[in-house]
Structure 1
Amino acid sequence: MAISFRVNYPIAIALLSFSASAAELETERFIINIESRCAEGEVSCNQMTYHGTSKATGNSIMLEGSSWHTLCADGDTP
């Protein structure tokens, strides 16, 4: 199932790999929480949650999905 949404203002976010953890990013305009509900040590996670809240309006969005990863230049290291 594909989920799409429209944002009326640009947001730039760098996503990092998380294992059984959560992280918060606070910018001038947004508070963003990214949580992984996967076991520690898993390279890919199909249980990721993104929750973003606008500081200006208080509007928020919650998305669920999976992490992506690519291999390094050596073709072996994730």
Structure 2
Amino acid sequence: MLKNRVFSEIGNLKHLKKEKPETVIGVCGCMSQEESVVNKILKSYQNVDMIFGTHNIHRLPEILEEAYLSKAMVVEVWSKERRCH
């Protein structure tokens, strides 16, 4: 199942975030527009810095900058736009 591979890959990046905390990890795509996927990432993957869907890929530079400067997870998925502390 594709979701399992995505979650596995996010988990594999955890060591990278520990070794290089300044690294920004993002999840983008059609799956990241699903509320269940966003909720699972919020709950289980604190190494992710930003989550956004395909509808706002054009905002990548702004989302990246916000995630890097705020040090908080940035979520821009349809109406679910927030910072998580």
Whether TM-score is above 0.5 comes out as no
TM range, smaller chain: 0.3 to 0.5
Structure number with the bigger relative contact order (C-alpha 8 A, sep ≥ 6) is 2
- The structure having more radius of gyration, on CA atoms, is 1
Give the TM-score normalised by the residue count of structure 1.
Answer: 0.32
